[in-house]
Structures are given as structure tokens and as C-alpha cells.
Structure 1
Amino acid sequence: MSAYKQVIKLNPDPLAAFAISPGWQVGDLIFLSGQAAIDEQGQIVGVDDFDAQLKQVFANIDRVLRAAGSSRDQIVKVTIYLTDMSNFPKIVAARKTYFAPPYPADTTVEVNALALPELMVEIDVIAAA
């Protein structure tokens, strides 16, 4: 017997140009694609401004989770990709702003680059449906 699975759809979908689904619901879990500082029209938000990018990332996470019938308080795991680990203290502060205890499980890594050179942070999420 196969698990229930359904793609999460957005309109407009800023990831469509990259041949990426915003996310999937599989059974009782929701898996989001990495969310970056790209607005609904596909434009980069906050070039050279980490705080503005992080705010847009969480707005995008909220939007995709809402489309799936879930919400940020259902997140159980995040993976955070930073192009500069000196922004890690801002991530710690953001956890306290965007989440409440008990905090999601977390992995944070520094990468050389993200999909577009202007991007400074990307977060992928696993949440309960």
C-alpha cells in the first residue's frame, strides 16, 4: 500500500521557473523545498541585506505551509543553509522570533553558494500536516 502524496501548489509559483515544486505532503508530513528570499513574482528580496532575506524566507515558509493546510507551529525540522556563518547569531535570534518552544530540530550549515548568487540564506522544512 503506498502512502498518500500530494504536491503543494502556489499561485503564483515563484519556483516554477526552476522546475521545483514548493513542497509535498506525504502521509502526515509536509516537505518544503528550500525557501529563499524570492518574492511571489520571482524577484530576489534584500540583496546584501541578510535580515530582509531571512524575513522573506519565513514569509515564504508560511505561504507554502498555509497552502498545505499547516502552519509554522507544526514544523518539526529545519535545515538552514548560510553563505556566511558569521550570520549564525542572527539565526539563533530568529529561532526565538519565528518559533516557540519546543523548538524544531535544526541543522545549520555553511555553503559556498546558493542557487542564485545574491541569496544569503535558504531554509528547508519538514512539518506535520
Structure 2
Amino acid sequence: MSSQRETRERVTMSTDWYEPYAISLGIRTGNLLFVSGQAGFDETGTTVSPEFDAQARQTFANLRRVLEAGGSGLEHVVKVTIFVTDISVIDQVIALRREFFTLPYPADTIAEVSALARPDWKIEIEAIGLIPDA
């Protein structure tokens, strides 16, 4: 057993869109950052567009913001889980992964789900990132 006590630190920002739902944007523990699922909404919580590509790009932007607030970044992501409401967008998701992530690409799970937390969301991404200076 380790003699060190487990520590968890909540990641938050001035605009914490998950606070009303009792969800942390992210949790830091050791050199890992666990990021809650991000979707295609802006700082006010409004879904940016009904179009998949616009939502997906905003989702990656939100993911980047939370990772950076927690001391990590897209280049330090080791695992992502991507939920989509229509698996036919798989080629778009692969193209976005190539655009936003770098080699070695993170481990990934992608799954089609019947719905996300809001009926107009088409994509949600959660991630685990390394904190390089931890």
C-alpha cells in the first residue's frame, strides 16, 4: 500500500458550464487529467449549430480548453472516448482526429449512442491526458 494519500483536484474555469449539473469539467490526480465529456456548445451553453462538423469542431475546442486549464493539452491525450449519434460520420471523426491529435494518436473508443445529454447534440468526447509538469 502506498503511504501517499490520494489527491483529487477539480479543474474549473471562470465559465464552468457543468457546475449546475454537479459535474467537474475535469479532475487532476497525480500526472493524469480526466476530462468530462465535451460537446458542441459555446460558453453560454448554447449548441453552436445543428451541423455535425460545427459541433465536432466546437467539441474539440472545448476539450482543448479544459485540458489546458488542467495543465495538459491535446498533444498529451492518451485516451479518448467519442460518442456520436450517427456512426456514418466515422470518416469525419477520423479526419478530425488527424487534425487535432498528433502521433502517437491516443487510444480511442468510438460508439454510436441513441442520444446524448441534450437532444440536439451529435457528438461528445471525454479524454484522459497526461500532465507533463506534475
TM-score (norm 1): 0.95
Shift of residue 17 of structure 1?
Answer: 2.3
Aligned sequence identity (%): 44
Computed over aligned residues only, the root mean square deviation of the Cα atoms, in angstroms, reads: 0.9
Shift of residue 75 of structure 1?
Answer: 0.2
Q: Distance in 1 between matches of 2:17 and 2:49?
A: 16
**8 A Cα contact 1:14 1:38, kept in partner:** no
Of residues 11, 21, 31, the one that matches 2:34 is 31
- Tell me which structure has the larger Cα radius of gyration: 2
Question: For 2:33, what is the secondary structure of its paired residue?
Answer: strand
Of residues 1, 7, 13, the one that matches 2:16 is 13
Q: CA offsets, 1:41-87, max 9 Å, x none?
A: 1111112x000000100110111011111111000000000100001
Q: Distance in 2 between matches of 1:33 and 1:21?
A: 7
Structure 1 stretch displaced more, 9-18 or 60-69: 9-18
The list of structure 1 runs, each at least 4 consecutive aligned residues, that deviate by more than 3 angstroms after superposition, is none
Q: Distance in 1 between matches of 2:74 and 2:40?
A: 17
Aligned match of 2:130: 128
Question: For 1:86, what is the secondary structure of its paired residue?
Answer: helix
Opposite residue 57 of structure 2, the aligned amino acid is: K
**8 A Cα contact 1:15 1:42, kept in partner:** no
Question: For 1:122, what is the secondary structure of its paired residue?
Answer: strand
TM-score (norm 2): 0.92
